Amino acid sequence: MATTGGRNIATARGATGTGKDVSNREDLANFISMITRDETPFLSSIGKSKATNIYHEWQTDELTAPGNSRVAEGADFLAAGSTPASGDGAASTTVGAMRTRLGNYTQINSKTISVSGSRRAIDQAGVADEYAYQLKKRGTEMRRDMEFDIVNTYNKQTTSGARQTGGYQSFVNSGDTCVFKGDFTAPSTANAGTEVITVAAGGAKAALALTDIDAVMQKIYESGGSATRIMVSPKLRRDFSDLMVNDTGVRRNIDEDGKLRQSVDVYMSDFGDLMVVPNYIMGLAHTTTDATTTQFDAADSAALIYDPQWFAMATLRPMQEVEVGQKGDSTVGMFIEEWSLEVKNPKGCGAVYGLE
């Protein structure tokens, strides 16, 4: 029998024996403290839409590049797709020629709960009903899983096995709006939703620089967009704040109360203001594959520069509890949701890939 300080532990807890310790009540607080983060910064920033099929589609469009559209007085109209013989005027455009049809498959996420009859019946500290408590916990976990699929896994949409929705990196990976560092390059093809970046065998990465962010902002501006947020891992959040000193020589701000301001909440670039948003999920260690199945650690590897208006979570089946019923002496239930990431126009967003 274990002892501590010459006293029998079981007796001290009042389990057995005699004496003054037998009547001691157990001192267990009536709450459960949960420390794990439950935020979903990206999902919380974007809109919602409705999917009506397992392949959710939408269209993008754009204007032709600015140029010469003057014509001579009394000139005849131009046939679709033709160019003026004199060189004056711009070529006419066929209706719908600039439109692109994009799509993404829906993905089913699920969490299962199983609680025994005894566990539901006993009087527990901090839990009124174990089944209800586990439902809430699993629902929060599932929402975090969805955030992980969008921002950190470099998911490409697939239909084989369990359907997979394409994540941010499978839509926003063009050199038109992205900067690639180290051994990271754009995919060889530009099929939105089905390709991700390519990583050379060495997998070398490089540090974040302000010029990278400025370059992406310029690319987005020239494409017609206007990003408003930069989302980074906790490590890159600190690196970004350090850039304000190391890259520019700017001194930290000390207010009238003597408080030293360390962080940078908004970066005012030449092409708009960026709110700096940390996302702890982007810092989780996770091995994924590139366009050629080369494996690399995705943690801290990207800075997402985007405008929330270009994204939405398209729901085919909203999150719901399905109570399966009794399985022996246990109550079994599950949370389930079917959804897809809608990237309304990838050219309005960018990223810096290959960060360390």
Q: What's the mean pLDDT in 57-67?
A: 87
Question: Residue 101: its pLDDT value, please?
Answer: 92
Residue 34, pLDDT > 80, answer: no
**Residue 114 within a domain:** yes
Lowest mean pLDDT among 23-37, 45-59, 270-284, 329-343: 23-37
Task: Please tell me whether residue 124 adopts helix, strand or coil conformation.
Answer: strand
Pairing, β 272-278 against β 266-269: antiparallel
What pLDDT does 349 receive?
96
What are the respective helix, strand and coil percentages of the chain, to the nearest 5? 25, 30, 45
The strand pair at 302-306 and 229-232 is best described as: antiparallel
Residue 329's CATH number: 3.90.1690
Query: Is 12 inside a domain boundary?
Result: no
Kindly state whether residue 90 falls inside one of the protein's structural domains. Answer: no
Residue 54 lies in a domain: yes
Residue 148 has pLDDT above 90, yes or no: yes
Beta strands in the chain (DSSP E): 3-4, 7-8, 47-50, 55-60, 100-105, 107-116, 178-180, 184-185, 198-199, 229-232, 253-254, 260-261, 266-269, 272-278, 287-289, 295-297, 302-306, 311-327, 330-343, 350-353
CA 72 to mean position of chain CA atoms: 53
What is the per-residue pLDDT for 90? 59
Q: What is the mean pLDDT of residues 261-271?
A: 84
CA 54 to chain centre: 21
**What integer pLDDT is reported at residue 36 of this predicted model?**
66
Q: What is the mean pLDDT of the chain?
A: 84
Q: Distance (Å, rounded) from C-alpha 37 to C-alpha 60?
A: 36
Which is higher by pLDDT, 324 or 166?
Answer: 166
Residues 6+ apart with CB under 8 A from 135: 113, 321, 333, 335
Domain assignment of residue 116, yes or no:
yes
pLDDT at position 321, please?
A: 85
> Which tops the pLDDT comparison, 75 or 246?
75
**Residue 75 in tokens:** 């000139």
Residue 313 has a pLDDT of 96
49 in any annotated domain: yes
pLDDT tens column, 327-341: 888 888 888 999 999
Helix (H, G, I), strand (E, B) or coil at 332: strand
pLDDT the model gives residue 33:
55
With bands split at pLDDT 50, 70 and 90, how would you rate the model's confidence at 48?
A: very high
The boundaries of the domain holding residue 297 are 41-58+99-353
Task: Encode pLDDT of 276-309 as tens digits.
Answer: 999 999 999 999 999 888 999 999 999 999 999 9
pLDDT in tens, 87-131: 565 556 665 667 889 999 999 999 988 888 888 778 777 777 888
What per-residue confidence (pLDDT) applies to 331? Answer: 86
Average pLDDT over residues 35-59: 91
Looking at the structure of the chain, the number of domains it has is 1
Q: Does residue 79 form part of some domain? A: no
pTM exceeds 0.85 for this model: no
pLDDT at 256: 67
pLDDT in tens, 177-202: 999 999 999 998 878 899 999 999 88
What's the CA angle centered on 26, arms 24 and 30, to 5 degrees?
145
- Work out the pLDDT band at 9, boundaries 50, 70, 90: very low
Q: What is the pLDDT of residue 304?
A: 98
Is the pLDDT reported for residue 258 higher than 80? no
pLDDT confidence of 11, banded at 50, 70, 90? very low
pLDDT at res. 233: 97
Cβ–Cβ < 8 Å for 131, 100 = no
Average pLDDT on 201-209 reads 92
- Here the tokens at position 46 are 């974007």
pLDDT on residue 62:
85
| Residue 27 lies inside a defined structural domain of this protein | no
